[in-house]
């Protein structure tokens, strides 16, 4: 036998048995996002490398170490998108959408990062996210967080997650904070990991969320962003927490949260869980009031977030999600002439919208009834030689074993009617 080819490390198949969970998550999110006025935007999976370098930031792990970059046949440097916001901002500017604010969009699809794979962390993973352009005030942040939490409630996951919040300030107050932080970190340089030491001057905030235990210890006593905000940023943060408290949305302020992308201003947030080990963020985002201008558009405040579908699917775990492909009726056809009647009936039932499966491999009545049981269909239709001769079928309710004889005339309509009115 020829050697079989395996999937690329860090990628995985979403198998058909998992797809009900995925469809449930995607449908729940799309429904909730629509309730808040978001329409779907689909951007390309690859863009110019420069787009991500400029938007996400040249000093970030994502751009420095994790992007899948390639040259096309013309020598242009392109990258598989590591996240969705950069492409949405490009589209916003390119399509002149700043003339119809507010602009609310959601997106879903694969993202690519060359990270070390582990449970809940992949090299191709899927996000669903939202971006809101226009409103600058805390009311917009509050509305977005209400929507995020509405999704977790509707997905039945709210018990498993915590909303964590921080503010990173703005170009007016961040430089002053940065100076204070650098001063503190300089006094503790030897204790920091090599990575943090090397990017200390370029990006001191990153030390605050380094996972190295020594860095964590240093970070624990470091100056905090929320204590060094300018009046406008302080008011914004207070306004937001006030709105969330009024709506009884539980939250934790986490002064160590800085996020791994450079575009954030003011509000940043993560929805975390303790159920997935190290990969604890299931959704994350924040405000990025400077990004549109950085990317060459007219300055426009914006805020957004994205959630990781693999992690949400892991959280849903074994919970049964509705599976549209589970048959409502399983047709068992055994004996002379039964195949013909059975396949005709199956097709008529499907035409009436009843998910129906028919045994395609022959076999004894007993054997076929076992398959009917395994299919999960609540009803089976049994057609044997006697039924063919008499022009009837047996309709069996699988849970009770109750069986009735029905005449073939107008059968599909009568079965469909019976299933729906319960008689």
* 297 versus 304: smaller Cβ distance to ligand HAM: 304
Spell out the alpha helix ranges (H) of 80-187: 85-94, 138-154, 174-186
The end-to-end CA distance of the chain, in Å, is: 55
125 is an interface residue for ligand HAM by CB under 6 A: yes
Length of the chain: 423
* Cα distances (angstroms) measured from residue 357 to each of 64, 203, 372: 52, 59, 9
Residues touching ligand HAM, count (CB under 6 A):
27
- Which one of residues 41, 205, 229, 283 is an interface residue with ligand HAM (CB under 6 A)? 283
Question: Closest distance between ligand HAM and the C-beta of residue 247, in Å?
Answer: 21
When CB distances to ligand HAM are compared, the closest residue is 308
* 209 versus 323: smaller Cβ distance to ligand HAM: 209
Per-residue mark of binding to ligand HAM, 25-64 (x: CB under 6 A): ----------------------------------------
d(CA 136, CA 1): 62
d(CA 113, CA 115): 6
- Which one of residues 54, 104, 113, 150 is an interface residue with ligand HAM (CB under 6 A)? 113
Sites for ligand HAM among residues 343-402 (CB under 6 A): none
Q: Give CA 86 to chain center in angstroms.
A: 17
19-35 helix and 138-154 helix, angle to the nearest 10 degrees: 150
Beta bridge partners of 130: 106, 305
Other beta carbons within 10 Å of 109: 16
Question: Closest distance between ligand HAM and the C-beta of residue 280, in Å?
Answer: 9
- Which one of residues 140, 142, 240, 281 is an interface residue with ligand HAM (CB under 6 A)? 281
Pairing relationship of beta strands 329-333 and 379-383 according to DSSP bridges: parallel
* 207 versus 276: smaller Cβ distance to ligand HAM: 276
* 265 versus 368: smaller Cβ distance to ligand HAM: 265
- Which one of residues 169, 290, 297, 308 is an interface residue with ligand HAM (CB under 6 A)? 308
Q: Which stretch binds ligand HAM (CB under 6 A): 39-47, 122-130, 132-140, 204-212?
A: 122-130
Residue with structure tokens 């943090």? 196
Residue of 393, 383, 337 lying closest to 358 (CA atoms)? 383
- Which one of residues 138, 204, 285, 384 is an interface residue with ligand HAM (CB under 6 A)? 285
Question: Closest distance between ligand HAM and the C-beta of residue 126, in Å?
Answer: 8
d(CA 141, CA 268): 10
Residue with structure tokens 């059968």? 411
Residues that bind ligand HAM (CB under 6 A): 83-85, 113, 115, 120-122, 125, 127, 129, 131, 260-261, 281-286, 304-308, 310-311
């Amino acid at each position: 036998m020829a050697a079989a080819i395996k999937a690329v490390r860090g990628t995985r198949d979403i198998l058909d048995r998992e797809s009900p969970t995925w469809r449930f998550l995607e449908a729940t999110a799309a429904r909730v996002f629509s309730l808040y006025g978001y329409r779907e935007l689909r951007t390309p999976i690859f863009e110019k490398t420069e787009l991500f370098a400029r938007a996400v930031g040249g000093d970030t792990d994502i751009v420095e170490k994790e992007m899948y970059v390639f040259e096309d046949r013309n020598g242009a440097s392109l990258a598989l998108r590591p996240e969705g916001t950069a492409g949405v901002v490009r589209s916003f500017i390119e399509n002149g959408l700043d003339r119809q604010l507010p602009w609310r969009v959601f997106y879903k699809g694969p993202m690519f990062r060359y990270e070390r794979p582990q449970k809940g962390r992949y090299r191709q993973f899927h996000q669903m996210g939202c971006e809101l352009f226009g409103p600058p005030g805390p009311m917009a942040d509050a509305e977005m967080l209400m929507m995020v939490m509405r999704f977790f409630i509707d997905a039945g996951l709210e018990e498993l997650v915590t909303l964590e919040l921080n503010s990173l300030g703005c170009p007016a107050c961040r430089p002053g904070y940065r100076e204070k932080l650098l001063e503190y970190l300089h006094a503790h340089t030897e204790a920091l990991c090599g990575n943090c030491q090397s990017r200390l001057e370029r990006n001191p905030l990153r030390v605050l969320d380094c996972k190295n235990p020594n860095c964590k210890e240093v970070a624990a006593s470091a100056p905090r962003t929320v204590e060094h905000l300018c009046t406008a940023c302080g008011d914004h943060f207070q306004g937001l927490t006030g709105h969330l408290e009024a709506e009884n949305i539980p939250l934790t302020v986490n002064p160590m949260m800085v996020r791994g992308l450079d575009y954030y201003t003011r509000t940043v947030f993560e929805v975390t869980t303790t159920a997935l080990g190290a990969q604890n963020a299931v959704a994350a985002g924040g405000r990025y009031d400077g990004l549109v201008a950085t990317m060459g558009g007219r300055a426009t405040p914006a805020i957004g977030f994205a959630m990781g579908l693999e992690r949400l699917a892991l959280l849903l775990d074994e919970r049964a999600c509705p599976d549209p492909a589970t048959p409502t009726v399983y047709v068992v056809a055994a004996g002379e002439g039964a195949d013909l009647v059975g396949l005709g009936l199956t097709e008529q039932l499907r035409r009436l919208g009843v998910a129906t499966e028919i045994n395609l491999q022959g076999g004894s009545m007993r054997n076929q009834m076992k398959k009917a049981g395994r299919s999960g269909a609540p009803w089976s239709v049994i057609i044997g030689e006697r039924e063919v001769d008499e022009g009837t079928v047996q309709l069996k309710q699988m849970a009770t074993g109750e069986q009735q004889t029905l005449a073939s005339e107008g059968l599909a309509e009568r079965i469909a009617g019976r299933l729906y009115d319960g008689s």
